[in-house]
Amino acid sequence: MEAQSDQIRAAAELLCGRRNVVALTGAGISVESGIPAFRGSQGMWSKYDPMEYASIEAFMADPEKVWRMLGEMMRVVGEAGPNPAHDGLAELEGRGILRAVITQNVDGLHHAAGSRNVVEYHGNLRELLCVSCWKRYPAGDARYAEPVPRCDCGHVLKPGIVLFGEPIPWGAQGEAEAHAKECSVLLVIGTSAQVYPACEIPHMAKEWGAGIVEINTEETPLTGPVTDIFLRGGAVETVSRLLEEVLSIEAQQA
Ligand code: NAD
Ligand code: ZN
């Protein structure tokens, strides 16, 4: 069952009343853009088990195998565009309600939607980097073609994303923690809250006093103990309803 109108209203009042909102997004926000999430058996993840393919150990052991999955992921992401949920967050930022988006996604769709303050917690697919000398290359450069792109120094290039077993980039970790501690509302959208350490962010925000609004088609480990308002539904429809309600509250206040 979809979120009730009074729940949407309560969430919109929280956002408008406190402002200083930060969003934490996961793969679920991009599902309606055509990029399958990890959890759930659809699409490319039924072919490629992420735990088998998306770890740094798997990559170092057999980069060609992992690049087969990455190549497909880059093609899927390359064909996708932002949806109204990404657009809605950009609009909330433009209106001074949302301060930042922390995203676990590597698809670049928040930037494409016009969000300015985006923390890419797990990196992005725009760049490739050398596993030996850390030289960076734009991913679109055809020179670094399949089966395995290589650096000028001869070593293998990896995508600029955080694979399982790799640390979160220092800058992104620090920014995400600062946002979690300073925000008044954390809007958690489309994450299973099972990937560590990203799943710590809602707990940290809660401890530092933020209200937690969660949007997901299913309940998650956050839903009972951490979430204050759970809005069940797809990201596109739910963010659109929330934005509409925010705009109507703002119009009444003007
Ligand atoms: P996840 O795959 O573990 O979970 C996806 C969550 O989204 C689930 O809780 C599911 O119920 C929910 N969901 C599915 N469809 C939805 C919809 N239409 N609207 C709202 N919610 C919906 O994703 P995760 O928690 O982000 O963790 C997986 C890791 O893999 C992350 O690092 C993630 O960014 C990465 N990943 C990224 C992409 C991408 O960049 N688009 C795609 C797949 C995986
Ligand atoms: Zn190199």
Q: Is 192 in the pocket of ligand 1 (CB under 6 A)?
A: yes
- Tell me the CA–centroid distance for residue 157 and ligand 2, in Å: 8
174 Cβ contact list (under 8 Å, min separation 6): none
Low-confidence ranges of the chain (pLDDT < 70): 40-44, 141-146
Instruction: Looking at the CA of residue 27, tell me the nearest atom of ligand 1.
Output: 26
Q: Is 208 in the pocket of ligand 1 (CB under 6 A)?
A: no
Query: C-alpha angle with apex 136: 73 to 66, nearest 5 degrees?
Result: 30
Q: Give me the catalytic one of 122, 155, 179, 203.
A: 122
The pLDDT tens digits of the residues spanning 73-95 come to 888 999 999 999 999 999 999 99
- Whether pTM > 0.75 for this model: the answer is yes
Q: What is the pLDDT of residue 204?
A: 98
β-bridge partners, 159: 128
The pLDDT tens digits of the residues spanning 104-138 come to 999 999 999 999 999 999 999 999 999 999 999 99
Instruction: Looking at the CA of residue 122, tell me the nearest atom of ligand 1.
Output: 32
Distances (CA, A) of 233 to 49, 85, 93, 116, 183: 26, 12, 22, 26, 24
- Tell me the CA–centroid distance for residue 119 and ligand 1, in Å: 16
Q: What is the pLDDT of residue 146?
A: 64
Instruction: Looking at the CA of residue 125, tell me the nearest atom of ligand 1.
Output: 40
Nearest CA to ligand 1 atom 26: 26
Positive or negative: CA dihedral 18, 3, 109, 72: positive
Q: What is the pLDDT of residue 2?
A: 80
Question: Residue 178's CB: how many other CB atoms inside 10 A?
Answer: 13
CA dihedral 74→76→81→85, nearest 10 degrees, is -100
Query: Is there a catalytic annotation at residue 122?
Result: yes
Which ligand gives the minimal distance to the CA of 188?
A: 1
58 burial (CB, 10 Å; 0-12 / 13-18 / 19+) is: buried
Nearest CA to ligand 1 atom 43: 37
